[in-house]
């Protein structure tokens, strides 16, 4: 049965053509049995054939078939052709036009024609039996109801179809919006991981390079110093591996649990360890905390750590020999202030804005993105008298 139903849905015109032939055959038999010896049998046959055509093409060109039906109805009234079985096509075309998502004038014309058909028929061919006017009116109303029901049923179907189409369109639009939001989220996550990798690699590798150069320089003259430098390289490398393992663990979501050995994200409390690490690499850093330290949101703590890390890394890269830096953390009632300065020769600000010395890093762009994510502000640029200054204010609550 399902196959038959699917076949009928795929061939609507063929189905309508079959019923049109059935209607034509029964209409001719009706005329022959009900109206024997009619004066114009050919005219009846032509009208029946045209009504069958209306039934066959009702779904392909409903508006044209409606106009043809109106013309046939007027021709019946003019020629005096009494109602016969082929007039059933009028019910069908009224329903079809009302259900079709076409111009509204066609639906209104179908309703008007259906409501007036019984009245015009009663006026043209009144009932011969004696009856009162009320009885005639009641009979006319009874004959009008099927046309009204056909139009109401078709219009309800059209409204329901339009409602479901609107639901499907809305669901499709929501699906597209979800896909777009997912793509934006993926891009943002990739950018965040890229910033994290940049901070980890740029800082730790630069420390390892400095320590390796120093170890090679004093290897023969001071083996103990070289040993300490190698230990620093080892510790820095382990730290870098731990942080990279954490980032790669994020990318391994859904794999084995042991594949992602997560480690805590850096926070404000580790800035002092960061400063000590940088001092061990040969950079003089003055570190101070003002205000009363207290717990901060994890996003603010990670942002503060990464800003200090990036600033000190840039000082080592561009500050030149004998450069010194200072780091200030200021706890306010409503946020955390950061001030990182150096007195080196520095690099042009355009180099930072373009993404670092190699043009492929993140530089100030990454800093501004981090600060913007927590609703803070960042001010960076050359310092009067030489060097570079980075100042940031991170609120406890992100701005809306």
* Least confident window among 93-107, 144-158, 224-238, 258-272: 258-272
- The DSSP output letter for 254 is T
Give the residue with greater pLDDT, 4 vs 287.
287
Instruction: Give 263's contacts (C-beta < 8 A, 6+ positions apart).
Output: 242, 243, 245, 246
Q: Would you say residue 145 has pLDDT above 60?
A: yes
Give the residue with greater pLDDT, 176 vs 255.
176
Q: Would you say residue 337 has pLDDT above 90?
A: yes
* Least confident window among 7-11, 79-83, 250-254, 267-271: 250-254
In this prediction, residue 248 carries a pLDDT of 63
- The DSSP output letter for 396 is S
Compute CA 31 distance to the chain's CA centroid, rounded to the nearest angstrom.
62
Nearest C-alpha neighbor of 392 from the set 311, 322, 316, 315: 311
Q: How confident is the model at residue 178 (pLDDT cuts 50, 70, 90)?
A: confident
In the block, tokens 């609507």 appear at 12
HSE-CB at 171 with a 13 A cutoff on CA atoms is 6
- Whole-angstrom CA distances from 70 to 54, 97, 283, 347, 391 are 11, 13, 97, 87, 83
Q: Distance between CA atoms of 358 and 356, rounded to whole angstroms?
A: 5
Nearest C-alpha neighbor of 235 from the set 277, 176, 284, 196: 277
Region of residue 174 (left: phi > 0; alpha: psi -120 to 50; beta: else):
alpha
Instruction: Give 188's contacts (C-beta < 8 A, 6+ positions apart).
Output: none
In this prediction, residue 339 carries a pLDDT of 93
Q: Would you say residue 74 has pLDDT above 50?
A: yes
State percent of the chain over pLDDT 70. 81
Q: Which two tokens stand for residue 345?
A: 């020769």
Q: Would you say residue 285 has pLDDT above 60?
A: yes
What pLDDT digit, counting tens, does each position of 324-334 carry?
Answer: 899 999 999 88
In this prediction, residue 221 carries a pLDDT of 79
Work out whether strand 324-331 and strand 335-342 pair parallel, antiparallel, or are unpaired: antiparallel
Give 378's strand partners. Answer: 392
- The DSSP output letter for 383 is P
What pLDDT digit, counting tens, does each position of 36-72 carry?
Answer: 666 667 888 888 899 999 999 988 899 999 999 999 9
């Amino acid at each position: 049965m399902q196959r038959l139903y699917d076949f009928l849905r795929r061939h609507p015109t063929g189905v309508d053509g079959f019923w049109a032939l059935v209607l034509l055959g029964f209409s001719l038999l009706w005329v022959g049995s009900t109206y024997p010896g009619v004066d114009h049998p050919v005219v009846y046959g032509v009208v029946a054939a045209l009504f069958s055509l209306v039934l066959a093409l009702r779904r392909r060109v409903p508006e044209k078939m409606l106009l043809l039906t109106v013309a046939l109805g007027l021709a019946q009234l003019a020629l005096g052709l009494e109602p016969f079985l082929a007039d059933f096509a009028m019910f069908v075309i009224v329903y079809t036009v009302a259900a079709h998502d076409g111009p509204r004038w066609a639906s209104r014309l179908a309703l008007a024609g259906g409501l007036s058909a019984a009245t015009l028929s009663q006026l043209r061919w009144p009932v011969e039996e004696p009856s009162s006017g009320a009885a005639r009116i009641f009979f006319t109303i009874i004959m009008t109801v099927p046309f009204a029901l056909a139009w109401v049923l078709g219009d309800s179907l059209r409204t329901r179809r339009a409602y479901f189409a609107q639901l499907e369109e809305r669901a499709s639009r929501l699906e597209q919006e979800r896909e777009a939001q997912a793509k934006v989220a993926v891009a943002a996550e990739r950018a965040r991981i890229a910033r994290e990798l940049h901070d980890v690699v740029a800082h730790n590798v630069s420390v390892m390079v400095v320590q390796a150069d120093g170890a090679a320089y004093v290897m023969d003259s001071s083996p103990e110093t070289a040993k300490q430098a190698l230990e620093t390289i080892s510790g820095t490398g382990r730290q870098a591996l731990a942080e990279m393992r954490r980032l790669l663990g994020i990318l391994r979501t859904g794999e084995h649990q042991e594949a992602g050995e997560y480690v805590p994200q850096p926070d404000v409390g580790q800035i002092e360890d960061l400063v000590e690490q940088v001092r061990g690499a040969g950079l003089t850093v003055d570190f101070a905390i003002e205000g009363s330290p207290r717990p901060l949101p994890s996003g603010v703590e990670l942002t503060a750590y990464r800003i200090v890390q990036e600033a000190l890394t840039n000082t080592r890269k561009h500050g030149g020999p004998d450069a010194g830096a200072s780091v200030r953390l200021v706890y306010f009632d409503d946020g955390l202030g950061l001030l990182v300065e150096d007195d080196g020769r520095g690099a042009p600000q355009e180099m930072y804005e373009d993404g670092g010395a190699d043009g492929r890093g993140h530089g100030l762009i990454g800093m501004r993105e981090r600060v913007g994510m927590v609703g803070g502000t960042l001010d960076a640029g050359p310092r009067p008298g030489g060097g570079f200054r980075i100042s940031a204010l991170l609120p406890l609550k992100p701005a809306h």
